[in-house]
Amino acid sequence: MDAMWLLVSCAWKAALVVALGAALLRMGRSASAAERHAVWAAVIVALLALPVLSVLWSRVPLALAGEGSVAQQALMMADGYLMVTVLAGNGDSAVAGMRWVWMIWMLGVVATLVRLLLGYAFAYRYLRGSKPLVIGESWWRGRAPILVSPTAPVPMAVGILRPTVVLPSTAVRWDAQLLRRVLIHEAEHIRRKDPLWKLLASVTASLYWFHPLVWVVMREFATERELACDDAVLAAGGKPSQYASDLVEFAKKSMAWSVRATVIPMASPTRLELRIEAILNESKPRQVFRRTTVMMYTIVLALLLLPLSALQSAAAANPTPRSDATPAAVAQPAAQSGEEPGVIDVSGSVQARKLIKKVNPRYPAEAKAEGVKGLVRIKVRINKEGAVAETEVEQSPDARLSTAAVNAVKQWVYEPTLLNGKPVEVLATIDVNFSLK
């Protein structure tokens, strides 16, 4: 699959996945924060799987089933031609523009991933100079180490696979109830493996850094994560007004410090008002995690994801055919049972869906200056490995255009075509249209 088409394809598919996740949550208005967080987690997994599944679908071999002859099966594959249009003046700039778009996306991914790695490296500074805190609470045993750090502004979880609870230096003077509320909140983060989910969400945001809907998912995902942990504190007997006051105080302290996005602080000014409102709203469901409901949401997303990832964008899947296109003729006789399949004559449109390397022809400068234009029709033989083995120019207005077209087409590489499970050679017709408009 062409890299540019993969990027475009994943962009619009991601919008559909996000829209479905939002629709599911809108239908389940009585869902708790833990359930809403689980739905957004499923959306993030779907977004990560989209490019992988799209590439895998594009590499599924073209295998024809049935008892018909090779000639009959070849006719099933013949549904048009592949046309490549090369425009004088802006043809090269269009190709260059696509390359620039691809390069800009790559730079964005690299920049966000580097920022992410630096954030994790910076986060571990909270562990320097820290001292272990031993508590007598039996329910905490075996959960995670607790450290008191002179540089930590608020309680936070640091780490991914083996997270550590880091508390500010003032924690040694906290009363038992405040310490309990804080530890219950952090224990819920660890139980739910939130640090690992946060990493997956950050990688997803890096891949889709250009997509505004994905950033909406990241915001909602982080909000529901904190609301779910707040619910755990309240379900354990925490007084709503007192717990809300705790969060306000911690949020004030975090404003004066640089709390990196790679850690999970207990409170920050971001969407604090929404959390306080949820805490004080006694009608909100608390810790109602119905596995059947979450499983239903996940199944719906999976059922959409598989066919969605198989779809290609309209431009990639349906190359422009010639107006006078007719099915390609079949030159080979039918093979007998058990015989090795011969060369199959198919159209370029079928093969275009399985191009894994495409080099665009360049308009010869001299021909462009002289106003030479027209259609170059090339008959190609694609070997069993998918390489263009032979080319034959059937029609051309100028030798220079023929040379430019053939030089480009010779570098094309296809996915091998299978017929009844065996690789076959394929004949295809490719039209390269050199246009001055």
Phi–psi pair at 196, nearest 5 degrees: -70, -40
What's the CA gap between 303 and 297, in Å, rounded? 10
Residue 53: predicted pLDDT: 84
* Annotated domain spans of the chain: 62-89+314-435, 128-192+219-284
DSSP for 148-164 reads EESS-SS-EEE-SSS-E
Q: Which residue has the higher pLDDT, 15 or 314?
A: 15
Given this model, what pLDDT does residue 70 score? 39
- Domain spanning 62-89+314-435: which CATH class is it, in words? alpha beta
Per-residue pLDDT band at 287 (split at 50, 70, 90): low
Identify the H or E element spanning 50.
Answer: helix 33-58
193-to-33, 74, 281 alpha-carbon distances in Å: 15, 53, 27
**How many helical (H) and strand (E) elements, i.e. helices and strands, does the chain have?**
14, 14
pLDDT digits (tens, 9 = 90+) for 201-236: 999 999 999 999 999 999 999 999 999 999 999 998
Residue predicted with more confidence, 279 or 253: 279
DSSP string, 98-123: HHHHHHHHHHHHHHHHHHHHHHHHHH
Q: What are the backbone dihedrals phi and psi of residue 347, each rounded to the nearest 5 degrees, phi first?
A: -80, 160
Considering only CA atoms, which of 364, 295, 324 is closest in space to residue 86? 364
Least confident of 15-19, 297-301, 349-353, 389-393: 349-353
Q: How far apart are CA 292 and CA 297, in angstroms?
A: 9
CB 39 within 8 A of CB 26: no
Asked whether 1 and 54 are in contact (CB, 8 A), the reply is yes
Surface-to-core class of residue 299, CB atoms within 10 Å of its CB (0-12 exposed, 13-18 middle, 19+ buried): exposed
Q: Take residue 27 and report the two structure tokens written for it.
A: 């239908």
Q: Does residue 73 have a pLDDT over 80? A: no
Supply the pLDDT for residue 384: 86
Per-residue pLDDT band at 260 (split at 50, 70, 90): low
Encoding tokens for residue 95? 């190709």
Summarised one tens digit per residue, pLDDT across range 347-379 is: 544 445 577 788 888 888 888 888 888 889 998
Say if residues 207 and 109 touch (Cβ distance below 8 Å).
yes
pLDDT for residue 35: 86
What's the pLDDT at 204?
A: 95
Q: What is the dihedral of CA 230, 234, 236, 239, to 10 degrees?
A: 130
